Amino acid sequence: GQQLNQSPQSMFIQEGEDVSMNCTSSSIFNTWLWYKQDPGEGPVLLIALYKAGELTSNGRLTAQFGITRKDSFLNISASIPSDVGIYFCAGPLPGGGNKLTFGTGTQLKVEL
Amino acid sequence: GAVVSQHPSWVICKSGTSVKIECRSLDFQATTMFWYRQFPKQSLMLMATSNEGSKATYEQGVEKDKFLINHASLTLSTLTVTSAHPEDSSFYICSARRDGYTFGSGTRLTVV
């Protein structure tokens, strides 16, 4: 099925550093969602994007809906230890009803 | 906000037995719920869409007779893994939609 490719697959950064990750698709999406998953938990929504070019912030997190509608980006500023986890992009595939397709994930590890 | 409760959070069962997982929308009604499976270090893969009052729709490759879904009320969907085998061991997560997609905290199934 449709897969959203995330990059990087994992990253190991120092506390206080900024983080950037992206999500790309071969298909156009009308909605991009960014989730964070902690170990042994379900995903929690961080940011939702609904319009091409949209830039939305949630605290230290900023996400952008790519102009081509085939990609999205998530930035985390001044990372802290609790940012550790797996970040997933997701979106309902146009014509696929309300079913969400998830990205491959980016695992973030923060070094103190 | 929308809350989805999933129970149990973990379960260990013997091969050949059946296990039931419950997913409840606590503060809203959900005509549609979604069931995902996640293997270690992998993304969430949609298994099926649970529809209140009607049959679930399964994704390609998911055995409907093995993964029985019942959505008998607007706040409860259940997933029963029948005749479980060790390869069914995984993290199962449900989701319901209200404004956005809210996820349960997941169920870790271990089949021994």
Question: Closest residue of B to A32, CA-based?
Answer: B100
Question: Is B89 at the interface with chain A, CB within 8 A?
Answer: no
Report whether pLDDT(A97) > 80.
Answer: no
Which of B70-77's residues contact partners 24+ apart within 8 Å by CB, and which partners? Answer: B71/B33, B74/B25, B74/B29, B74/B30, B74/B31, B75/B24, B75/B25, B75/B26, B75/B28, B75/B29, B75/B30, B76/B22, B76/B23, B76/B24, B76/B25, B77/B22, B77/B23, B77/B30, B77/B33, B77/B35, B77/B50, B77/B52
Q: What per-residue confidence (pLDDT) applies to B100?
A: 86
- Does position A68 have pLDDT exceeding 90, yes or no? yes
pLDDT at B97: 87
With CB atoms and an 8 Å threshold, state whether A105 touches B95.
no
Mean pLDDT score, A46-65:
97
* B87 phi/psi in degrees, rounded to 5: -70, -10
Total CB pairs under 8 A between chain A and B = 48
Decide if B34 touches A, using CB distance below 8 A: yes
Structure confidence at residue B94 (pLDDT): 97
Percent of chain B with pLDDT over 90: 88
pLDDT above 70 (res A96): yes
- List of chain B residues whose C-beta atoms are within 8 Å of the C-beta of residue A43: 44, 93, 103
CB under 8 Å to B77, separation ≥6 — which residues? B22, B23, B30, B33, B35, B50, B52, B69, B70, B71, B94, B96
